[in-house]
Amino acid sequence: MRKGLSQVSLLSFLETLKEEEKAKVERHKKALREKEKPRAKVILKTALSRGDLESLLKKGADLIRTRVDYKYLLVLLFLKRISDIWIEEYEKTYNDLVKNYGLSPAEAREEAKAETYHRFNIPEECLWNNIRKEVSKLPEKLAESLKRIAELNPELRGVIDRLDFITFTQSRENFEILRQLVELFSKYNLSNKYVSSDVIGDSYEWVLKYFAPQKGKEGEVFTPREVIKLLMEILDPKPKESVCDPACGPAGMLIIAYKHVREKYGKKEADKLRLYGQEVNHDIYALAKMNLLIHDILNAKVELGDSLLYPKFTEKGKLMKFNIVVANPPWNQDGYGEETLKKAEFKERFRYGYPPNNSADWAWIQHMISIADDKKGKVGIVIDNGCLFRGGRERNIRRKIINEDLIECIILLPEKLFYHSALAGAIMILNKNKPKERKGKILFINASNEYVPHPTVKRLNMLSNGNIKKIANAYKKFANISGFSRVVDIKEIKNNDYNLNVNLYVMPLEEEEAIDITKEYFELKKLEAECQEIEKKLEEYISQLTQTLGDEL
């Protein structure tokens, strides 16, 4: 006891020590709470641009190149995104509960984890930063977490849990690639605060586009986005309408349909659009689901299955009908001849006839006609040129559809637009509600010269915005444009044995070479001077020859 310290002073001194100790404990608890709080590691303090994110993904793509399936890159991108958004939602909810609802920090901490506050149900141990804590167990942690998240979120089952991270990383090289990919993504916060759904969605599409030229077969399911934009300019989906892609691939058609409506009418109206897709390949179906979710497009339904044999969208035992049906199905697909299609559900779809076994093009066209709204349905399909003029069964199907006056427009596209084929494709537009002035006619557009060189893939061409606008305007005007478009009476097509080859009806004009008049004038004067010189010499030779002959005579 200090000398001279009274009992009152002693009590006061002890009380002060007690308060100081209590404050120290509270500070320690607060520090622990902050440490326990799920937190995304943020390096960038500003929003990420498309360029920033594409640069990040380019580094990831360079890591995996063709040695590793690019789907690993996309699944990691998706997991990082939903993990960072979960933390963003948690922190917002936590602060709101403490500040506005009077919950204690401990109560708010537990409450903020509840499923009701989150887009996806993600256990804390499955969050990105918790997965990467033990590097040696990274493959196992990823596999377990993806499986657990898929179990808790039905829309992610069979979507994010398909890749085998454990088998994939059995080689030391692949393990190191995975570790580097995880560390690369860990440098950035991919929550909504830092990355908009448009930016991350476009970056997801960038990965698909980047690997399409390298993945021969999978390039078939990636339709150039410029071709899709052209289709949307022509079909022009509107709010509250339904759009279906029965061969949806990674959902590019549905996403650009949504963006088309959003650009014209706003997000609120775009959210009223009803989007449907079906895809036969499970891996591509998974990409489609992730693509839509990462774009934050929630008004879409995608099903797994073969549209030609087992269409998934039905109502009361009948096929659903849609305002717009649009697709780029596989060209010249084998195995869908009469024997196969007779076993399909809803065989009445093929009432115009069964296609040959080596090309399903007209099976797809018939399926799409059958699910288009009977009163005002429109169909847009990207096809192989051959189906426009091949004979046999295809000619007979073509004849019946032409006679029913369903085809509104045929567009010949340039060569080398598609990743899987250097051949020129075509777009066919069918309309169950043709305007009166278009009845009995088909518009042919020869857009074979409407392209610019592809900026990154040397062997390819692409449609520019100017090309898209020119073609779409020609469709809207439905008029003759010399060397570009022609309105043809169905009678003429019948006389050509139902041949729909665009070059038969409209050929592009030969480009005339520009003439430099001044240059050509001086070139002409030079030639005239040379001619005069030659004539002068010729006269001298004739004179000499005449003189020689005269002397001899």
Question: What would the pLDDT profile of 135-146 be if each residue is shown by its tens digit?
Answer: 999 999 999 999
Q: Are residues 220 and 280 in the same domain?
A: yes
Beta bridge mates, 440: none
Last residue of a domain, one of 175, 192, 209: 209
Spell 296-305 as b/e; 16+ CB within 10 A means b: bbeebebbbe
Last residue of a domain, one of 186, 209, 232: 209
Strand ranges (E), 143-270: 242-245
How far, in Å, CA of 16 to CA of 280, rounded? 74
Residue 5 lies in a domain: no
Q: Are residues 501 and 522 in the same domain?
A: no
How far, in Å, CA of 136 to CA of 129, rounded? 14
Q: Are residues 66 and 205 in the same domain?
A: yes
Other Cβ atoms within 10 Å of 127 Cβ, number = 22
- Residue 298 DSSP code: -
pLDDT confidence bin for 46, thresholds 50/70/90: low
> The tokens of 169 are what?
């990383």
Residue 9 lies in a domain: no
Q: Are residues 419 and 474 in the same domain?
A: yes
From 381, 376, 294, select the one nearest 330 (Cα to Cα). 381
Kindly report the CATH number assigned to the domain that includes residue 78.
Answer: 1.20.1260.30
Q: Are residues 188 and 226 in the same domain?
A: no
Q: Can you give the pLDDT at residue 21?
A: 64
How far, in Å, CA of 219 to CA of 69, rounded? 14
Kindly report the CATH number assigned to the domain that includes residue 302.
Answer: 3.40.50.150
Domain count, the chain: 3
Q: For residue 402, what are the contacts with CB-CB under 8 A and spacing of at least 6?
A: 442, 490, 493, 494, 498, 500
Q: Residue 489 sits in which domain range?
A: 216-505
Q: Can you give the pLDDT at residue 35?
A: 46
Residue 140 lies in a domain: yes
How far, in Å, CA of 238 to CA of 215, rounded? 34
Last residue of a domain, one of 165, 191, 209: 209
Q: Can you give the pLDDT at residue 18?
A: 62
Q: Is 399 exposed, middle or buried (0-12, 13-18, 19+ CB in 10 A)?
A: middle
Q: Can you give the pLDDT at residue 40?
A: 42
Helix (H) or strand (E) segment spanning residue 487: strand 485-489
Residue with tokens 């189906």: 387
Q: Are residues 244 and 265 in the same domain?
A: yes
Query: For residue 489, which phi and psi values (nearest 5 degrees)?
Result: -70, 140
pLDDT confidence bin for 544, thresholds 50/70/90: confident
How far, in Å, CA of 110 to CA of 407, rounded? 61
How far, in Å, CA of 387 to CA of 452, rounded? 26
Indicate the SS3 state at residue 58: helix
Highest mean pLDDT among 4-13, 302-311, 506-515: 302-311
Could you tell me the sign of the dihedral formed by the alpha carbons of 168, 172, 174, 176, in that order? positive
Residue 324 lies in a domain: yes
Q: Can you give the pLDDT at residue 241?
A: 98
Higher pLDDT, 471 or 553: 471
Q: Are residues 483 and 539 in the same domain?
A: no
How far, in Å, CA of 440 to CA of 491, rounded? 8
Q: Can you give the pLDDT at residue 483?
A: 95
How far, in Å, CA of 196 to CA of 90, rounded? 18
CB-CB contact of 86 with 120 (8 Å): yes
- The dihedral region occupied by 346, where left means phi > 0, alpha psi between -120 and 50, and beta the remainder, is left
Residue with tokens 């498309």: 50
pLDDT confidence bin for 36, thresholds 50/70/90: very low
CB-CB contact of 114 with 330 (8 Å): no
How far, in Å, CA of 234 to CA of 429, rounded? 9
Amino acid at 28: H
Q: Are residues 415 and 476 in the same domain?
A: yes
Over the chain, what is the mean pLDDT? 89
- CA 94 vs. chain centroid, Å, equals 36
- CA 12 vs. chain centroid, Å, equals 73
How far, in Å, CA of 391 to CA of 325, rounded? 26
For the stretch 448-501, pLDDT in tens is: 999 999 998 888 999 999 999 999 999 999 999 999 999 999 999 999 999 999
Long-range contact pairs involving 171-180 (C-beta distance under 8 Å, separation at least 24): 173/67, 174/67, 174/68, 175/138, 175/139, 177/63, 177/64, 177/67, 177/68, 178/72, 178/138, 178/139, 178/142, 179/135, 179/138, 180/63
Q: Are residues 288 and 173 in the same domain?
A: no
pLDDT confidence bin for 64, thresholds 50/70/90: confident
Q: Can you give the pLDDT at residue 2?
A: 44
Residue 6 lies in a domain: no
In the predicted structure, residue 216 carries a pLDDT above the cut 70: no
Q: Are residues 71 and 220 in the same domain?
A: no
50-64 and 172-186 are packed helices; what angle lies between their axes, rounded to 10 degrees?
170
Q: Are residues 195 and 288 in the same domain?
A: no
Taking the whole predicted model, whether its pTM rises above 0.85 is answered as no
Residue 31 lies in a domain: no
Q: Are residues 57 and 192 in the same domain?
A: yes
